[in-house]
Chain A
Amino acid sequence: MSGLVTPQPRFGLRWFANHEARLIWRDFASLVTGGKPGRMAVVGLIIVCFIAGMHVFAAYLLGPVVAEGLVAGKSLYLTISAALLMLFSLMFSQAIESVTRAYYTRSDLDLILSSPAPSHRLFEVRTVVLAFQTVMLSAFIAAPVINTLAWLDGAHWFAAYGVLAALGVIATSLSILLTLGLFRWVGMAKTRLTAQIMAAVVGAGFVIALQLIGIMFGQGTSRLSLLLSPETLAAAPKEASGLWMFAKAALGGVWEWIALVAASVLTLVLVARFSARRFAQDALAAAGVSEHSGKAQEFKGFRVSGSVRAGLRRKEWALLRRDPWLLSQSLQQILYLVPPAVMLWFSYGEGGMFYVVVPVVVMATGQLAGGLAWITISGEDAHELITTAPVPPRTILWAKVEAVLVVIALVVAPFALAMLFFSAQIAVTLIIGAALASGSAVVVQLWFRSQANRSLFRRRQVSSRAATLCEALVSILWAAAAGVALLNPLFAIVPALLVMIVFLVAWFIRPAREG
């Protein structure tokens, strides 16, 4: 043994990049195909059709704008900058999520760190692959617009891809610095939670902005012209300002483009270098400090006095409270309701505030109840433990439903109280609407319940499209019912009837189950 000289191993970084890319690709593929690889061809076709459709749609929207002539100047710069900012928020959110996932939750950290491979070099590669992934996402989203503009207005628009790449690279670098900072400031256990909440909020910002623009376009140019009004334009920086650099680069400005791309590449190289060693150290420091073992919960003694149902409810609440990821997901769902609220606000003016708030709260509770019901009912991690317990299944389901409804009641209560200051009728409408919406969402989840794992929460929509659709329809309909009931309770009959129809359909298509 001692006579042998260990051959100096060579580590191909491209090999590791391939490994990373393969993992990302398979994650993506299993997400879009719902775990059935055979569907890839169909999904591919749908994606191609979707992209084509988006191009047509972009041409339809942009055609008239280009026909009027796109003149370089403050208003065009402002529009482009706003669009880039939106895409940047999306990329930033995406990057925060992938960075936390790649560096803190991959089960391969043990393997990599215990291997003789230079882990900091591997982490550098990982960072570059992450940046690439981020860029691809935004390119996918922006491609229809860029291609259409290049086709209608001139090939110089293709430069926008470079700007997107630069922004994606910067977003990735920033999120790496952010996670490293979080690790130092709030510690390992909270880094993931904080990062995920940030990702949720930043990402929701993108969706919200997108919907707002849709609303503005939908209502003619009046709202868009708010952005481009003389006052706004006057307040905007001068045309020569460096702040327009991104917009100018996207329009094909050679110097701006080169400067931007060079700066972003330099940033990535520096951040990758700096962070890789840090990550190796952090990962070592964090090794084993699982979020689970780290925090001791205060022991208050057993509470066996309550019923089985009380015990089940307590367990559900404890789990909900301790699931930071769920928290961020729910937060995101509620944030998505902001744009419709703004739209309604615009349409009714200030006097119609209740017509806005009541339906939005009703809708939000329906969605929240659906999510929570899925988690407690389908996302039961110890399914077998529970089913083998000497408790009738009905009791178990009821306990879980109660646990969800109590949480919903806690969320709705402050809104209802606030409404009470204005009018009892509004408060009652809100309470009834929220109760119906959440109750219906829970029923849908009960009918479509399956056995899954909590970690699949985000994929539940893919796994049962029917349930998601029913849940959404029911929430929307009850929201509408609550809205019109404020005018005249009799009006609510129509949406209520529609809910019954949805339920009827759901009853027939619900999956069969034994026992």
Chain B
Amino acid sequence: MASQNTTALEISGLEKAFDKPAVRGLDLNIAGGEFYALLGPNGAGKTTTLRMVAGLLKPDAGEISVFGSDVLKDPIAARQKVAWVSDEPMIYDRLTPMEYLEFVSGLWGIDREIAEKRSMELVDWLGLQEQANQRCGGFSKGMRQKVALAGALVHEPQLIILDEPLTGLDAGSARQVKDVLLSKVSQGTTVIMTTHILEVAERMAERIGVIVQGKLVAEGTFEQLQELTGKGKKTLEEVFLDLVEQDDAANAELAA
């Protein structure tokens, strides 16, 4: 495991409201080399939070820094270290995976030869050899996700942020994506992913943050989360539902 003494992501007092508040005073600290899962029900504010980290949304308040670079004050330095993989893979239908990787490398200013070598490796690694030079137009969701993931890895970011990376993938593709992420973590890369699938968080992540209605309601390893809610051995599902209920109850008290 990579040294855990650097801070990969530091979020404090993050707020963002659309028509109504989506993220409400969120604090988060993620160490370098960690595999962190942001877990929460639909509409909890996971995507909104991570879009702000990726510099795609401006927060209303709060601070975000990535490996010491302030996302708001020094966005270019921060972006250089981060890869964002959206839940809707942002690839071009009329480009081939190789052409796509070439383009992404260009955006991150990677040297041509290095980029080419890495792209070939990634294509092999993700099992895209046969489709490497076919246009992405007809690709399945899983293949598109893999292309997008290759795009995120080609510039070797220190922090990879993935929004619901396994949603809609078949078991084979999901396994491949999982393996790639785990091996990246073992090489020292920090990975943050959102998920509403409890099992995914439980199996993959070292640490889990539970986010409900724009706030972090609990954080820790799976075991810690289990202890937090007490009552002996539980699946994460039960733990999670407990947490959501507790938060609802607290809100009801506030409102009353």
Contact = CB atoms under 8 A, between A and B. Distances in A.
Given A15-B106, A19-B103, A114 B55 contact: yes
B51 A288 contact: yes
A113 B75 CA distance: 10
Given A9-B109, A9-B110, A114 B58 contact: no
A27 interface: yes
Contact of A114 (B47, B84, B109, B110): B84
Contacts of B108: 9, 115-117
Nearest to A285: B58
B29 interface: no
B94 A23 contact: yes
Contacts of B84: 110, 114
Given A10-B109, A116-B109, A23 B51 contact: no
A345 interface: no
Given A9-B110, A287-B51, A110 B79 contact: no
A27 B94 contact: yes
Given A117-B108, A284-B58, A288-B51, A110 B94 contact: no
B90 A116 contact: no
A287 B56 contact: yes
A455 B154 CA distance: 32
Contact of B56 (A1, A16, A26, A110): A110
Contacts of A392: none
A6 B155 CA distance: 12
B94 A107 contact: no
A285 B55 CA distance: 11
B116 to A, nearest CB: 14
A12 interface: yes
B82 interface: yes
A395 interface: no
Contacts of A22: 95, 99
B56 A114 contact: yes
A114 B54 contact: yes
Given A26-B94, A27-B94, A30-B94, A6 B80 contact: yes
Contacts of B88: 107
Interface in B43-97: 47-48, 51, 54-58, 76-77, 79-80, 82-84, 86, 88, 90-92, 94-95
A16 B94 CA distance: 16
A1 B77 CA distance: 15
Contacts of B95: 22-23, 26
Nearest to B158: A1
A112 B86 contact: no
B12 interface: no
A41 to B, nearest CB: 19
B107 interface: yes
A410 interface: no
Interface string A107-128: 1101111111110000000000
A57 interface: no
B51 A111 contact: no
Contacts of B167: none
Nearest to A19: B103
A112 B54 CA distance: 11
Nearest to A296: B19
A101 to B, nearest CB: 13
Given A30-B94, A287-B57, A11 B109 contact: yes
B235 interface: no
Interface in A1-26: 1-2, 6-12, 15-16, 19, 22-23, 26
A23 B99 CA distance: 11
A90 to B, nearest CB: 25
B56 to A, nearest CB: 5
B92 A114 contact: no
A114 B82 contact: yes
B235 to A, nearest CB: 32
B211 to A, nearest CB: 17
A107 B90 contact: yes
A113 B55 contact: yes
Given A108-B92, A110-B56, A114-B82, 12 more contacts: A1-B6, A1-B158, A1-B188, A30-B94, A107-B88, A112-B107, A114-B56, A114-B84, A115-B108, A284-B56, A287-B56, A287-B57
**Sorted from nearest, which 9 A-B pairs have the closest CB atoms?**
A9-B109, A115-B107, A26-B94, A116-B79, A116-B80, A114-B84, A117-B107, A114-B54, A116-B76
Interface of B: 6, 32, 47-48, 51, 54-58, 76-77, 79-80, 82-84, 86, 88, 90-92, 94-95, 99, 103-104, 106-110, 151, 158, 188
